[in-house]
Amino acid sequence: MFRQPRVLAALLAALLAPAGAHAGVWLELLHAPCWTGSAANLVQDDGVYGEFVGAVDCFNKDFNGGGARTTLSIKAFQPWEYGWVFLYYDITGPFNSAIADVLSPNEKGGFFGGLTVAVSLRRVGEKVLGTKLGLGPLVDVSLKGEVEHVARIGALFYYGLVWELAVPFFGVVAVSTLVRDDPAFEGVDLQVGVVWEAPFLIAGQGFLFAGFFQAGLFGEGKGRGAFATTSGRPYLLTQPQLLWDAGRVLRFAPQRLYLGVEYQVALNRYLIPGKTENVLQAMVRWNI
């Protein structure tokens, strides 16, 4: 899976933004300092990929850059009459200049993101039938199509269903069942995922537990063209976030400015067998 680390995502990457979410634009700035990694614990380093064994705040050394990395994520969600549109774009090294001394050119504004257009089957059904539809704990089902863009590699595609659920204590829960169609491989894969947001209070302080999980179940078969020596594999990626509502305390505005952390766990990273990536990142989120 040729994805840049979203030092984001969450969700809502990839992602799975549900029909019940509020319209708006938000920014996420994330940084992994790689304080727990060094050359002494860098293994499997073939000049392209390497892992910092035992580190908790380092990306893998790879084509996206070194272990320490900063990412700016730009996200927008907008409902329309019969569905919703969601887009997100992650910029790696957003503040690095053209003469910055970096490990990879991708650390100079490299990007990864996607655009989703979804049609709400509930809203269409209500229009056709002329009445409101009560689906119990199933809030809505949307037909989704997404194009994902990866810098210097190209586009891949997702299509399938997003199931939005009403779950106690959660503001948003949406499950996705999608076909992952990457033209670099001969077949397609089934990707399942869930995205969530749960606001809560402790001692009068506001917090937000958010994130997403996604997994490719079977792999996409043999590679084609420049990827002929590779093959699609099952994978897992999750990025839970725990954020404190700093805007409430600073009187900026509640639910506008959040500070916290995101922890990314990836298995079979970039579809490389056995390649893992576990990264703790400091995070700022601004709901504009």
Widest CA span in the chain: 67
- Residue 227 to residue 250: CA distance in whole angstroms: 51
Q: 3-state DSSP call for residue 232?
A: coil
What amino acid occupies position 270?
A: Y
Q: Residue ranges of the domains in the chain?
A: 24-157+244-287
Between CA 244 and CA 258 the distance in angstroms is 5
pLDDT tens sequence for the chain (288 residues): 333 333 233 333 333 333 334 569 999 999 999 999 998 888 887 766 888 999 999 999 888 888 999 999 999 999 999 999 999 999 999 999 989 888 888 888 888 999 999 999 999 999 999 999 988 999 999 999 999 998 878 899 999 999 999 999 999 999 999 999 999 999 999 999 999 999 999 999 999 999 999 999 999 999 999 889 888 899 999 999 999 999 988 877 889 999 999 999 999 987 888 888 999 999 999 999
Residue type at position 145: G
The identity of residue 144, as a single letter, is: K
Q: Cα(269)–Cα(253) distance, rounded to whole angstroms? A: 38
